[in-house]
C-alpha cells in the first residue's frame, strides 16, 4: 500500500489530488514533546478523511520532557480521532536515554488506551540505540535509496512499512514528501474478511416510498452473486451479507452509497 507521512513542513495539501495520485495511507504528525501539537494536525486529518484515506498519527520522541507527559500529549490529541493505522512512536534522536524513554512512553500510552503502537526508526539508529524489548511492536523503517531495507537486530527484515525516500513528489503537495510502502501489519484491524450491513432500506417501488414495503428485487440487484440475509425490527428492514473478502466489502460499500451502514468483522 502506498503511503505518505506529513507535517507542518509540507504546508497546505490538496488531498483530492493526493488521493487521485494513488496514495492510500497517510501518517500525520500529531505531537512532539509534552506540549507541542502540529499546527496542521486538525486540517490534515479532516481533509484526509474527506477523501476516505486511511489515517494514522505519530509522535516525535524528545529528551527535553518526561516520556509520560509526552504520551499523554499524544493520546489527548488522537483519542477522539479515527485511527486506521497503528499510532506510531518516532524514535530518531539520541541525546538522552532512548530505550528508557521509549519504554516509559509505551507503558504510559498503553495505560491510557488499547490501540496497538508501532515504532518508526532507522536501521542504523535501531542497531545502535534500541533493543529487543521493542521486538513485539510493528516497525516502520526508514532506509533511503534501496528497494529492500537492511535487517536490524531487533526486527530482522520483518517491517510493517518502508520509508524509501524523503524527497518524493506527490500531486497536491508543493514540497518534497516522505514516501512509504506499507503492508497490512500497519493497520489496526488487518482482518481480511468481513460482511456488509446496510442501513434501513427505503419503502416503495425502487425506494420511492409510495407504499410500505421494500422492493427486494431492486435492492438485491446491488448484491449480484452475494448471498444476503434479510433482517428486521420495529424500525424497518436491512440486509446483512455473507462473509466476504475485504476487497469485496469495500467494493460494495462504494456501490451502496447511502444504503451502506458498516463493515463488520
Give the residue numbers marked as catalytic. Answer: 5, 92
Question: CA 20, 22, 25, 29: dihedral to nearest 10 degrees?
Answer: -70
Strand (E) or helix (H) holding 36 = strand 36-37
Alpha-carbon span 94 to 213, nearest angstrom: 66
Q: How far apart, in Å, are the Cα atoms of 102 and each of 7, 180, 188, 194?
A: 22, 23, 20, 35
* Residues forming beta bridges with residue 106, ordered by sequence position: none
Question: Percent helix, strand and coil across the chain, each rounded to 5?
Answer: 30, 30, 40
User: How many CA atoms are closer than 13 Å to the CA of 257, on its beta-carbon side?
Assistant: 3
Spell out the residues 6+ positions from residue 183 whose beta carbon is closer than 8 angstroms to its own. Answer: 1, 160, 161
The angle at the Cα of 128, spanning 124 to 129, to the nearest 5 degrees, equals 115
Nearest to 214 by CA among 201, 223, 224, 227: 201
Distance CA 220, CA 198 (A): 12
Amino acid at each position: 500500500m502506498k503511503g505518505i507521512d506529513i507535517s507542518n513542513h509540507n504546508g497546505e495539501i490538496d488531498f483530492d489530488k493526493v488521493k487521485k495520485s494513488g496514495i492510500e495511507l497517510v501518517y500525520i504528525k500529531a505531537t512532539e514533546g509534552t506540549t507541542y501539537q502540529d499546527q496542521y494536525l486538525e486540517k490534515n486529518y479532516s481533509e484526509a478523511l474527506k477523501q476516505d484515506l486511511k489515517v494514522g498519527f505519530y509522535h516525535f520522541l524528545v529528551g527535553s520532557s518526561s516520556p509520560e507527559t509526552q504520551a499523554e500529549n499524544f493520546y489527548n490529541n488522537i483519542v477522539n480521532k479515527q485511527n486506521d493505522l497503528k499510532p506510531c512512536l518516532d524514535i530518531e534522536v539520541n541525546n538522552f536515554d532512548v530505550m528508557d524513554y521509549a519504554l516509559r512512553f509505551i507503558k504510559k500510552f498503553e495505560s491510557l488506551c488499547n490501540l496497538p503502537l508501532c515504532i518508526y526508526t532507522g536501521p542504523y539508529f535501531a542497531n545502535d540505540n534500541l533493543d529487543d524489548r521493542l521486538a513485539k511492536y510493528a516497525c516502520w523503517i526508514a532506509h533511503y535509496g534501496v528497494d529492500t531495507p537492511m535487517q536490524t537486530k531487533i526486527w530482522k527484515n520483518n517491517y510493517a512499512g518502508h520509508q524509501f525516500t524523503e524527497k518524493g513528489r506527490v500531486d497536491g503537495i508543493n514540497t518534497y514528501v516522505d514516501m512509504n510502502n506499507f503492508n497490512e501489519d500497519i493497520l489496526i484491524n488487518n482482518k481480511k474478511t468481513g460482511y456488509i450491513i446496510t442501513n434501513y432500506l427505503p419503502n416503495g417501488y425502487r425506494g420511492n416510498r409510495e407504499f410500505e414495503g421494500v422492493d427486494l428485487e431492486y435492492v438485491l440487484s446491488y448484491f449480484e452473486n452475494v448471498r444476503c440475509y434479510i433482517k428486521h425490527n420495529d424500525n424497518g428492514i436491512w440486509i446483512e451479507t455473507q462473509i466476504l473478502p475485504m476487497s469485496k466489502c469495500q467494493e460494495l460499500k462504494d456501490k451502496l452509497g447511502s444504503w451502506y451502514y458498516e463493515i463488520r468483522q
